[in-house]
């Protein structure tokens, strides 16, 4: 689990941006001030479970997406989920999915570096 406020704040910020949501919109949905949301996103303040759950609901994402870090257990869980997705696919479908995944990975990495 994430223990670093700055990392969690950055993940919230990134999730908000990926949803094309302004700070004003998210703060309004969570029922907090914009300055409080800014402090959360910048890792300057702690916040409780109630606000965290409101953020998760407002962003329509899994809390795991914000909390999980790169550990072997998480990686295994994600690999298993991916394997389940492709388990009933034909070889041609698997190749197509892998091509799309590679292209998406590059697009995400390119967007992060901008």
Assign residue 60 the CATH number of its domain: 1.10.260.40
Supply the range of the domain harboring residue 107: 72-113
For tokens 């696919």, the residue is 89
How many domains does one find in the chain? 2
Question: How does pLDDT run across 54-112, given as a tens digit for each residue?
Answer: 999 999 988 887 887 667 777 787 888 889 999 999 999 999 999 999 999 999 888 87
CA geometry: angle 13, 113, 61, nearest 5 deg? 30
Q: Among 31, 51, 67, where does a domain finish?
A: 67
Predicted structure pTM score:
0.63
Q: Are residues 56 and 15 in the same domain?
A: yes
Q: Are residues 56 and 84 in the same domain?
A: no
Q: Are residues 87 and 106 in the same domain?
A: yes
Q: Are 68 and 1 in contact (CB under 8 A)?
A: yes
User: What does the pLDDT read at residue 69?
Assistant: 67
Query: What pLDDT is recorded for position 3?
Result: 58
- Tens digit of each residue's pLDDT (9 = 90 or more) over 31-52: 999 999 999 999 999 999 999 9
């Amino acid at each position: 689990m994430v223990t670093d406020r700055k990392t969690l704040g950055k993940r919230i910020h990134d999730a908000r941006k990926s949803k094309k949501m302004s700070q004003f919109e998210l703060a309004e949905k969570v029922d907090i001030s914009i300055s409080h949301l800014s402090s959360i996103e910048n890792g300057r303040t702690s916040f409780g479970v109630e606000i965290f759950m409101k953020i998760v609901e407002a962003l329509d994402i899994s809390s795991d997406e914000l909390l999980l870090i790169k550990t072997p257990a998480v990686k295994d869980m994600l690999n298993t989920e991916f394997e389940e997705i492709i388990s009933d696919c034909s070889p041609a479908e698997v190749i197509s999915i892998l091509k799309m995944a590679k292209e998406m990975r590059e697009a995400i990495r390119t967007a992060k570096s901008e």
